[in-house]
Amino acid sequence: MRSLEGMSILVTGGGSGIGLGAARYCVERGARVTICGRRKDKIEAAATALGDSCRGVAADITVAADRETLLEAAKNHGGQLDALVNNAGNMYRGAITELEEVALQEVFHTNVIAAMMLTGLCTPYLEQQKGAVVFIGSIHTRRAFPGASPYAATKAAVQGLTRVLAAELGEKKIRVNCLLPGAVFTEINQRAGLMDDETALQRLEGMSDLHALGRIGTTEEIAEAMAYLICAEWVTGAMIDIDGGLGLGLTQDPAVSAMKETCDHD
């Protein structure tokens, strides 16, 4: 298996949450990482905090010129391109009877189409390094959350895309895989204006019992799996659940719960 040391890695949506956690993890292990985000102040602050091995680029991946700029920045910063992490994404929620077509198109553009276009742009350079592409899927394709059909649909598309591109790019020795995170604190709901940080964290922590391991995850735990997919040389087309067992659909048998409660009081 390869080492992260000396790699040049491009992470979209790297200013916070899973993307920032991934960038930090890779920088700490010797990689040169380029991150991007729409907010210049936020992305520059994140890059500064991670040190000289991280470069921040203010870019909107839905804009073709910005994708070109981002790729050039990553090549200049790292001297090559070993891995692309398609992490940038937005949230759109609502009842199926109330969805707006323009908003649906926007979330598909960010979560699916822009990632496809950036992957295509990066392919010649990834081929030179026999590199890797990592997409970020979601537990939303494992468990049904009413009102989240737009987001779930984009992540299902990403997971289908992963398998097709793994087959398509295999002859170029490019590996393509997908991570499916469980409940991890990020800013995706806050950016969509759905809730504030405190409410978002309380919501996630309220889901702890739905995880077989009894807690929500951390961005570092997602980064560990991401690093594996970047470095593992014989893994492609894989969907890896990093979710603490959330996708298992854990249910509580009332009789078993009652027995446990009785034992706890004895």
Instruction: Give one DSSP letter per residue of 188-215, joined into a string.
Output: HHHHTTS--HHHHHHHHHTTGGGSTTSS
Q: How far apart, in whole angstroms, are the C-alpha atoms of residue 64 and residue 123?
A: 15
Q: What whole-number distance in Å separates Cα of residue 93 and Cα of residue 104?
A: 9
Whether 151 sits among the annotated catalytic residues: the reply is yes
Distance separating alpha carbons of residues 55 and 42, to the nearest angstrom = 12
Which of 158, 179, 186, 189 lies closest to 222 in space, CA to CA? 179
Residue in the block written with tokens 């735990």:
221
Residues 6+ apart with CB under 8 A from 180: 137, 138, 139, 141, 142, 159, 239, 240, 241, 242, 243, 247
Q: Which of these is catalytic: 25, 92, 125, 151?
A: 151
Provide the annotated active-site residues: 151
